[in-house]
Amino acid sequence: MTILAYLIPISLIMGGLGLAFFIWTVKTNQYDDPEGDARRILSDEYDDKPKQ
Amino acid sequence: MTATMRPSASACPACSAAPAAEALAGNGECGANIALSLPTIHCSACITKIEKALNADPRVHSARVNLTLKRASVEADEDVTAQDMKALVEGLGYEAHELDPGTLNATSNDRAGRNLLMRLAVAGFASMNVMLLSVSVWSGAEDATRDMFHWISAAIALPTIAFSGQPFFVNAWAALKKRQLNMDVPITLAILLAVVTSLWETSLSGEHAYFDAALALTFFLLAGRYLDHRTRAIARSAAEELTALEVPRAVRLRDGVEQTVAVAELAVGDMVLVRPGGRMPVDGEIIEGTSEIDRSLLTGETVPVFAGAGQAVSAGEVNLTGPLRVRATAVGADTSLHRMADLVAIAESGRSRYTSLADKAAKLYAPGVHILAGLAFVGWYLYTFDVRTALNIAAAVLIITCPCALGLAVPAVTTAASGRLFRRGMLIKHETALERLAEVDAVVFDKTGTLTEGTPELTNLGDLKRSDVELALALAQGSSHPLAQAITKAARAAGYAPARVSDVSEVPGYGTRGIADGQEVRLGRASWTGAEGLAVTATFLQRGEGAPVGFILADRLRTGAEEAVTELKAAGKQVYLMSGDTTVAVEALAQRLGIERWMAEALPADKAARVRAMTDEGRRVLMVGDGLNDTAALAAAHVSISPASALDAARVASDIVLLGGDLSPIPSACGTATSATRRIRENFRIATIYNIVAVPLAVAGLCSPLIAALAMSASSITVSLNALRLR
């Protein structure tokens, strides 16, 4: 059962990382233009400094 | 320190020179913020092409295209106007319209939606983790292991509920303060009681803890809230875009110099220039110029009215032929356009009496649940004299009956239905509009601008002599007057060629004249051409001193108007026509569309009074209108629709906005609304059945956290799936 001492923190930390990542995407306006972002990736223009 | 280092500051010399100006501009932005609507963009090539062209302009600081909203936002130097940017984009071959950035502010930053999404994400994360721990408890974890799992669950659940549950706690508190019960009261009680009893049980090394149930409850209910919010946010943003498309600007004359200013800056006594085709920005008096004005949006009259010096005009009227100088007598909130808002406010007090299906359900449900839980507590306490058991069972009852599925029942259906109607070009602005639309049994249409497009078409072309039509075409083709344009269009379509006429000139307010075969020819108003005025819209052609020939015009029907009326009648609804136009014009249209009940020359108050009278007779009225004269009636009706071309005031007063020019989606929208309401009721029934099955178990004390979790998830999923069946 000592394995639980490792597994539970590990699962919580990994879940927490996912949550933090999601919150970061919301905070940085990444859902403002889903359609445009999906198309922009197909653009031939290579931009070294993409605008926010 | 960082503020002065920002590159945006150095890009604008004015800002770095005057830090105070930067502070005033907010966020360190300086220069012009321009928003453009780009309805025709659709691919990545469009995005790059437009962005490249905009950024290539040296005055532009940055430009970004949003494909989802079909919008471009441009930051540029102070002296750049939206017109420049519009011309630039139109040069690339895309349609572009200016948007008023002030009106759009609210949409670009949807703080409430983001807030809900964040709470939803936290609740989802926590409920999944706690559920994993709970599964191991259900599958047989015992003693110290079980206690540890419960304590970890508590450590996750407590902060999560404190954060994610806030919307419910706030709403419940607000309702309780007003001594009312809403859906959030049983929700809050269930969540809090579940957490408290679970903590107590855990501290006593008990077997059952409901942390997972409390979190799942929060998660499902937040999902419902978020759906609800999104549907409304989409509608609100589209409605705001319609408003932002009308940039309120006026040309002010000061010491003979023309200045384009925002309408809000105008003051009483200012001299305003209104060009042909422009809308009056203020109430005022004409000082100079003759023209004709179109008052159809205000009164429903289709015949343009002569306008000359000394005459009073009101905001919202459209100037047709000649430039007018107007001295403002009332501006902003004092204009007749805004005074109409009082009528709307009176009419709206009636609508707020409508209770939504969800509120009706909550009214039945909330007290029932509390009484049931209370009885379970008292019963078990008297039976065992053990507060712990009794409290445990009361918590189980509250969790099982908690309106998890009920919270999803309405938003899931309205989201599905609103999305479907949005694709058909209807914008559902009000949350209960669908439910009210489903109850409609009488439909009242406005005439001008609603059933008709407000643009005239020539009706008696077949009765006219070829030479007359050719002459009229020659006189009309240079004019921008709607009647002249209608004649030009009809004559060209029929293959007529313009006659030879020299010295054609337009006399604003009267018509056009020219010289043909050595004699003067005139096309214009009856009084100017020596004709007897007719009751219908008409313009006259006079050759020298000869008898004038009448060109009769009628309003063109809006696309889908006939289908809409026929289908509504076929669906068993009574159709009415109410207009401020003349009796002749209204009767003609009523006969053309087969509407038996009509009312002409109606004042705005008449319309509202008639709608209210019909409501008192027990009818549920759907009002479809576009003008200022309809706003009071729109607000008084059970539910109201206005086309996108309507005045802003009318769109604000109505629940649903038709985005296209087509009226035919109205009957099918009624159908969709009816089936949506049916689905909502079905969802309530499904939720009730789950409760009927699970509640006896809970009251009998047989309900384990596992059964609670199963019942809750199963009912929520069934309800959501049922909502998706909507056609």
Task: Say how many C-beta atoms besides its own lie within 10 A of residue B52's C-beta.
Answer: 12
3-state secondary structure of B582: coil
pLDDT at residue B254 in the model:
82
3-state secondary structure of B363: helix
**Residue B522 zone, left/alpha/beta (φ > 0; ψ -120 to 50; rest):** beta
* Residues of B classed as catalytic: 446
Per-residue DSSP letters for B325-346?
EEEEEE-GGGSHHHHHHHHHHH
Vertex B661: Cα angle to B658 and B662 (nearest 5): 80
Which amino acid would we find at residue B369? V
- For residue B602, what is the enclosing H or E element? none
A43 and B CB contact within 8 Å: yes
pLDDT at residue B342 in the model:
61
Task: Say how many C-beta atoms besides its own lie within 10 A of residue B166's C-beta.
Answer: 12
Which amino acid would we find at residue B98? E
Closest CA to B37 of B84, B80, B100, B79: B100
Q: How far is CA B261 from CA B59, B83, B286, B500, B720, in A?
A: 22, 14, 19, 43, 51
Residue B349: pLDDT over 50: yes
Sole residue written with tokens 């999803």? B408
In B, which residues are within 8 Å of A46 by CB distance? none
Token digits of residue B349: 């007090």
Residues of chain A with pLDDT under 70: 1, 46-52
Q: Identify the residue among A6, A40, A42, A47 best suited for mutation to test binding to B, counting B beta carbons within 10 A and taking the highest.
A: A40
Contact A19 B122 (CB under 8 A): yes
Interface size, chain A vs chain B, as Cβ–Cβ contacts under 8 Å: 53
> Roughly how many angstroms between the first and final C-alpha of chain A, as a whole number?
49
Residue with the larger pLDDT of the pair B643 and B405 = B643
Question: What does the pLDDT look like over B251-260, one tens digit per residue?
Answer: 888 877 788 8
What's the DSSP call for residue B279? B
Closest CA to B431 of B609, B149, B651, B235: B235
B26 pLDDT band, cuts 50/70/90, is very low
Task: Say how many C-beta atoms besides its own lie within 10 A of residue A48's C-beta.
Answer: 4
- Overall average pLDDT of the B608-628 stretch: 87
B337 pLDDT band, cuts 50/70/90, is low
Which amino acid would we find at residue B717? I
Question: What does the pLDDT look like over B468-512, one tens digit per residue?
Answer: 888 888 888 877 777 888 888 888 888 888 888 888 888 877 888
Question: What does the pLDDT look like over B522-546, one tens digit per residue?
Answer: 888 888 887 776 767 788 888 877 7
Residues 8-37 of A with CB under 8 A from B: 8, 11-12, 15-16, 18-19, 22-23, 26, 32-36
Contact B44 A35 (CB under 8 A): no
What's the DSSP call for residue B447? I
In A, which residues are within 8 Å of B8 by CB distance? none
pLDDT at residue B348 in the model:
57
Nearest to B118 among A11, A23, A40 (CB): A23
A5 and B CB contact within 8 Å: no
Sole residue written with tokens 């494909």? B67
Closest CA to B504 of B516, B518, B494, B488: B516
pLDDT at residue B352 in the model:
55
- Mean pLDDT for chain B overall: 81
pLDDT at residue B7 in the model:
37
Which amino acid would we find at residue B486? A
Which of B106-115, B160-169, B490-499 has the largest mean confidence?
Answer: B160-169
pLDDT at residue B111 in the model:
78
Sole residue written with tokens 């006079």? B542
pLDDT at residue B708 in the model:
80
pLDDT at residue B23 in the model:
37
Contact B67 A19 (CB under 8 A): no
pLDDT at residue A51 in the model:
54
Question: What does the pLDDT look like over B568-597, one tens digit per residue?
Answer: 999 888 999 988 888 888 888 888 888 888
% of chain B exceeding 70 in pLDDT: 91
Per-residue DSSP letters for B94-111?
---EEE-HHHHHHHH--H
